[in-house]
Structure 1
Amino acid sequence: MTMRLDEMNSDEFQAFLSFAIKHFADEQIKCGNWKPEEGISKATEEYEKLLPEGKNTENNHLFTIRDENQEVGMIWLAKVTDEKGFIYSINIWEGNQGKGYGKKAMQEIEVLAKEFGLKNIGLHVFAHNQLARDLYEKLGYIEKNIKMEKSL
C-alpha cells in the first residue's frame, strides 16, 4: 500500500460535498435525530455553516486519500483553536474498506496535525458505527462524552 493524502481539487470537493451531505443526513435520520423529509436541507445548512468558502474555508484541510493514483476515500481536518483540531469526516469508498486505508489515513492526519501545531484531535462517531468506534479506540482515541436517549 502506497497511501497518501492529497489536497482535494475542486472536482473532488464537489463530489465529496454531494456524498457528505447525503451521508450525514442518512446518519442523522438513522439515529432518529432528524425526520427523513428534513434530512437533506438540514445537512446542507450544516455544511454551509462549516464550509462557507467551500474547500477554501480557512483552517479546514480536505484531503483525498489515494493509493498510488486510485482515489480510495477522503478525510477532513479542521483547526478549531491553535492547539485543537477536529476530524469532521473520514470516508473510505466502497470496495476499499477493510484494507487498512482508514487506519493509515488517521495516522497520516495526526502527522499533519502536529505540523499544523495542533496538540490534540477530536472527532464524532455515531453510536451505531461500531467499526469506526473500534478503529478509533485502537488508535488511542477515548470517549469524552456520551449522549444517551430513550424513545418513548
Structure 2
Amino acid sequence: MTPDEFDRWQTELATEYAREHVSAGNWTAEEGPGRARKAIAAQLPDGLATAGELLLVGVLADGSPIGRLWISLTHPRGLSHCAFLQDLEVVADHRGQGLGRALLAAGERAARERGARALELNVFGANETAATLYRTSGYRVVTQQMRKDLTAGERD
C-alpha cells in the first residue's frame, strides 16, 4: 500500500466502520465518524510504518486494484500465534467474482509466512455476505455476542 492509497483507505475505512457501528446501534451517527477515526489511529499510530501490521492491496494482472486487507500480527486479546483480520474490502465493481476469497487467501498466506498459526476476525451480525465468505473459507464461530433491543414494543 502506498502512502496515497493509505490515506484514501483510512478515510474509506473510517466511514464504513462508523456506518457499521451506527447500524448495529453501538454509536450515534454524530459520534460515529470521530470514534472510528480515533480507533483506527490508535491501532496504526505510525501509519504504514506501524510494526506488526500488514496493509495489503490486491491487484489484477493489469495493475488495477480490487481490494484491501489489514491484518494485525498481534492479536488484540494477546492470543499467542493468532493474527487478527481487521479489515477486508473488495472494490464494489469487483464483488461477486471470487476476488474476496482470493484476497483472504493471500492474507492468510502472508500471516502464516510471518509466524501466525491462526487468523481470527469479527463480523457485524448484519453483514451476511462477509459471514458467508468466512464460513465457506473454513472459519468457525469461537465467540458470539448477542443483543436484544429492550425498547422495541415499548408503550408511551
Per the normalisation by structure 1, the TM-score is 0.93
Identical-residue share of aligned pairs (%): 28
What is the rounded CA distance, in whole Å, between the counterparts of 1:58 and 1:38 in structure 2? 29
Letter in 2 for 1:74: R
Quote the offset at 1:26 in angstroms.
0.4
| Structure 2 counterpart of 1:3 | none
Q: CA RMSD in A?
A: 1.0
Letter in 2 for 1:72: I
2:68 to 74, 79, 90: 74
Instruction: Classify the secondary structure of the residue corresponding to 2:31.
Output: helix
Quote the offset at 1:83 in angstroms.
1.1
Instruction: Classify the secondary structure of the residue corresponding to 2:71.
Output: strand
The answer on 1:51 being equivalent to 2:44 is: yes
Contiguous gaps of at least 5 residues in structure 2: 151-156
Quote the offset at 1:84 in angstroms.
1.3
Name which one, 1 or 2, has greater alpha-carbon Rg. Answer: 2
Per the normalisation by structure 2, the TM-score is 0.90
Task: Pick 1 or 2: higher relative contact order, CA cutoff 8 A, min separation 6.
Answer: 1
**C-alpha offsets along residues 21-61 of structure 1, whole Å, 9 cap, x if unaligned?**
01000000010100000001110110111100011100001
Letter in 2 for 1:134: T
Asked whether the equivalents of residues 66 and 90 of structure 2 are also in contact (C-alpha less than 8 Å), the reply is yes
1:25 to 2, 5, 18: 18
Letter in 1 for 2:65: E
Runs (4+) off by over 6 Å: none
Contiguous gaps of at least 5 residues in structure 1: 1-7
Higher strand share: 1
Structure 1 window deviating more from structure 2 (140-149 vs 79-88): it is 79-88
Q: State how 1:3-152 maps to structure 2 within 5 Å.
A: 8-68=1-61, 69-80=63-74, 83-152=81-150
